């Protein structure tokens, strides 16, 4: 058990009841929920619509007040104004002022954090570059597509370099590229020791980035733990062979498995996931196109949010993928056909 001081978010028997005009209980949105979020952890609240995820996050943010239970954020009551300087919040939708430009929006929120003008300007430049909207810095947010506005929403949450970032459905409204960038960003922030709490009903998103999750249904936690604890099937095994395994070797391995286990193993080729494939295609198209009114190329994570060595790592892993996707895909297709032939012969 962690020391109380180390816990970023501590919720014990948290309950939220929404009441009607006459103060009669109407909806019990959160029921007796208990969990902890520790420093540097990416914690996910997972559940279908109406399961109480957003309500829980809004109680953590001090936007709603718990009906009963104990809730501490950064060691204080969530209604304490002081702790807000260490927090960042990305809401489910972009609740921005439509008549402000991107730059004015970030400048406004930066001023609320009392950042000095020079620092504010530097961070705004880096953030706009990070979210790929440096070309739209003087366009009003009201003109933006949902995805572009979401990016500004994300940038405003990071202007203060927060210790705790709370994201409500962070990938909602974003294209696969944007989703990937947000996920990469969350991972980068966690690497830097930031704590992240997010809600989502997109299981893949949560699985990719969360250290621990709590699954909510009908306002109650149904399961809680690390991704591995929850998903690992300890009684089953998966064997991954190195590439270019000679056919006769593979044949012998399969025969051995049949003999030793008395069961037919499943054999197929691993597939790249569609998200990665999509990102490769779009990246290639973007390099060829000169102009776009939408989201421009992202330049990785804002410098002030990332330690130097991690920036290099980050750029190496996310941005620098100068692979000719079409050629590679073509080669892949040929390889795949040959491998399929080989597999058919083996089986």
Binding site for another protein (CB under 8 A): 18, 27, 58, 61-65, 79, 81-82, 84-85, 87, 89, 91, 93, 95-97, 99-100, 104, 108-109, 111-114, 140, 156
Per the CB < 8 A criterion, the answer to whether 37 and 12 are in contact is no
- Shortest CB 87 distance to another protein, Å: 7
Spatial distance between the Cα atoms of 65 and 56, rounded to a whole number of angstroms: 10
Q: What is the largest CA-CA distance in the chain?
A: 77
CB nearer to another protein: pick between 64 and 188:
64
Spatial distance between the Cα atoms of 69 and 52, rounded to a whole number of angstroms: 15
CB nearer to another protein: pick between 61 and 182:
61
Q: Encoding tokens for residue 76?
A: 């204080």
Spatial distance between the Cα atoms of 146 and 224, rounded to a whole number of angstroms: 32
Per the CB < 8 A criterion, the answer to whether 132 and 147 are in contact is no
CB nearer to another protein: pick between 111 and 292:
111
**Cβ neighbours of 284 (radius 10 Å):** 17
- Shortest CB 169 distance to another protein, Å: 14
- Shortest CB 84 distance to another protein, Å: 4
- Shortest CB 20 distance to another protein, Å: 9
How far, in Å, are 64, 153, 169, 182, 261 from residue 206 at the CA level? 24, 20, 10, 12, 35
- Shortest CB 133 distance to another protein, Å: 18
CB nearer to another protein: pick between 64 and 174:
64
CB nearer to another protein: pick between 65 and 330:
65
């Amino acid at each position: 058990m962690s020391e109380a001081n180390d816990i970023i978010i501590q919720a014990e028997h948290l309950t939220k009841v929404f009441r009607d005009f006459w103060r009669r209980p109407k909806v019990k949105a959160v029921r007796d929920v208990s969990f902890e979020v520790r420093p540097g952890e990416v914690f996910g609240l997972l559940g279908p619509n109406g399961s109480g995820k957003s309500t829980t996050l809004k109680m953590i943010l001090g936007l709603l007040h718990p009906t009963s239970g104990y809730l501490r954020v950064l060691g204080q009551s969530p209604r304490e104004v002081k702790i807000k300087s260490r927090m960042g919040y990305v809401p489910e939708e972009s609740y921005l002022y439509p008549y402000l430009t991107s730059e004015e929006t970030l400048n406004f929120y930066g001023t609320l954090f009392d950042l000095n003008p020079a620092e504010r300007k530097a961070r705004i430049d880096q953030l706009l570059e990070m979210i790929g909207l440096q070309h739209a810095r003087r366009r009003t947010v009201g003109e933006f597509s949902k995805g572009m506005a979401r990016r500004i929403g994300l940038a405003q949450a990071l202007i203060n370099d927060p210790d705790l970032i709370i994201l409500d459905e962070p990938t909602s409204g974003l294209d696969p590229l944007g989703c990937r960038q947000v996920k990469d960003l969350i991972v980068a922030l966690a690497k830097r020791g930031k704590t992240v709490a997010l809600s989502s009903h997109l299981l893949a998103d949560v699985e990719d980035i969360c250290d621990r999750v709590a699954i909510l249904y009908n306002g109650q936690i149904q399961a809680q733990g690390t991704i591995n604890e929850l998903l690992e099937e300890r009684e089953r095994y998966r064997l991954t062979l190195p590439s270019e395994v000679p056919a006769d070797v593979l044949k012998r391995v399969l025969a051995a498995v049949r003999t030793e286990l008395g069961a037919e193993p499943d054999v197929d080729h691993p597939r790249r996931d569609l998200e990665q494939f999509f990102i490769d295609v779009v990246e290639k198209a973007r390099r060829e196109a000169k102009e776009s009114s939408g989201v421009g190329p992202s330049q990785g994570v804002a410098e002030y949010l990332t330690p130097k060595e991690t920036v290099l790592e980050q750029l190496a892993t996310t941005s620098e993928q100068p692979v000719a996707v079409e050629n590679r895909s073509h080669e892949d297709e040929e390889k795949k056909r040959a491998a399929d032939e080989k597999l058919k012969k083996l089986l």
